[in-house]
Structure 1
Amino acid sequence: MPRFLIRLAVSAYQRLCRALWFFTRPHSQGVQAVVRTPGGNVVLVRLSYRAGWHLPGGGVKRGETPEAAMLRELREEIGLASHTSIRQADRFEHVIDFKRDTVRVFLVEGAVYRPARSLEIEAVAAFAADALPEGLGSRARRFVERVGG
């Protein structure tokens, strides 16, 4: 399937979700990670439905601990094969796309990863903490500097 059709379908799904959330105003639990390789680089993802580079992460499923959710998301998004440590480094709340979101930010050290093809993830790359790419949001940049830089 051509990439532009995949992007169109994923974007349409995201718009549909936002429309539903406008009426339901759900409260969700999320996770994000500052992922560092054994060499100290920071792993970022580029999503098919959102511009720029982002910290990997996602939602916490019912009955799942935030740490387990973070490791699941890393396996899905970057192909996490192993890591040496994981710890919660921060927590914040915000409203995005009409839903209230509580997000826990983890620091994952010593990450070895093997990206796999995905409809959600367009690219996975590791960057030096002092040479983060353009298009990385200010909040993600602050987390990298504060917990993983």
Structure 2
Amino acid sequence: MPTRLQWLRIKLFHGWFLLRRPMTLGVRGIVHDADKGTVFLIRHTYIAGWQLPGGGVEVGETMRLSLERELAEEGNIEFTGEPRLVSIHLNRQASPRDHVALYLITQFRQTAPKLPDHEIAEAGFFPLDALPDATTPATRRRLAEVFGEAVPEHHW
């Protein structure tokens, strides 16, 4: 058990580190229905293109919990098995310190179709070989890395 002085030093160190090297962390999920050969994609109301569901990891939240929350919010999707961490990427388009953890979800259920709301304009399952034309390049790259023969990239 750390002494009060040790605890204070730890807190000061972490505070200094946060100021010197702030980093953001996000999660994305490939929700894959293997029986149908489909993946779940969303289209936001505030940015263009179809993409994988996900979002930012909140303070005090694990990546897995964040993924669970985001999939529930963006797709009414619940896990029935554990997601698998596939890769972690640097997303330089967002900021030079933004990282995205990509998960594969193959055991799930959708409790209800996702209806449009203030954040999600459209959502649905699409065949891997017939993605919407407006699917983002990053989404296509991640799907090719997981289901195709593309070499994984370190950048989103």
Q: CA deviation at 1:143?
A: 1.1
Q: Which residue of 2 aligns with 1:21?
A: none
Q: What is the match of residue 30 of structure 1?
A: 26
Moved over 6 A (4+): none
Residue of structure 1 equivalent to 2:70: 73
Aligned residue among 97, 102, 118 for 2:99: 102
The answer to whether the 8 Å contact 2:68/2:79 transfers is no
CA RMSD of aligned residues (A): 2.0
Q: Which of the pair has more CA radius of gyration?
A: 2
| 1:50-90 deviation per Cα after TM superposition (whole angstroms, max 9, x unaligned) | 11101101000111111111111000000113443411101
Indicate the SS of the match to 2:73.
helix
Give the 3 Å change call, closer, same or farther, for CA 53–27 of structure 1 in structure 2: same
Residue 61 of structure 1 is matched in structure 2 by 58
Pairwise CA distance, 1:144: 1.2
Superposition TM-score, scaled by structure 2 size? 0.72
Say whether the 8 Å CA contact 2:54–2:71 is kept in structure 1: yes
Question: 5+ residue gaps in structure 1?
Answer: 1-24
- Kindly indicate whether the alpha-carbon contact (under 8 Å) linking 1:26 and 1:99 is maintained by their aligned counterparts in 2: no
Q: Structure 1 CA distance, aligned partners of 2:144 and 2:95? A: 28
> Structure 1 CA distance, aligned partners of 2:32 and 2:73?
17
Distance 2:40 2:80 in 1: 13
User: Amino acid of the residue matched to residue 69 of structure 1?
Assistant: S
1:84–1:111 Cα contact (<8 Å) kept: yes
Greater strand fraction, Structure 1 or Structure 2 = 1
1:1-149 matched pairs, under 5 angstroms: 27-37=23-33, 38-98=35-95, 100-113=97-110, 114=112, 115-148=114-147
Q: Give the structure with the larger helix fraction.
A: 1
State the percentage of identical aligned residues: 34
Q: CA–CA distance in 2 between the matches of 1:119 and 1:59? A: 17
Give the TM-score, by structure 1 length. Answer: 0.75
Counterpart position of 1:8: none
Letter in structure 1 aligned against 2:91: H
Unaligned runs of 5+ in 2: 1-20, 149-156
- Would you say how many aligned residue pairs link Structure 1 and Structure 2? 125
| Alignment deviations for residues 101-141 of structure 1 (CA, whole Å, 9 cap, x no partner) | 11100001133222144210011111111111111112211
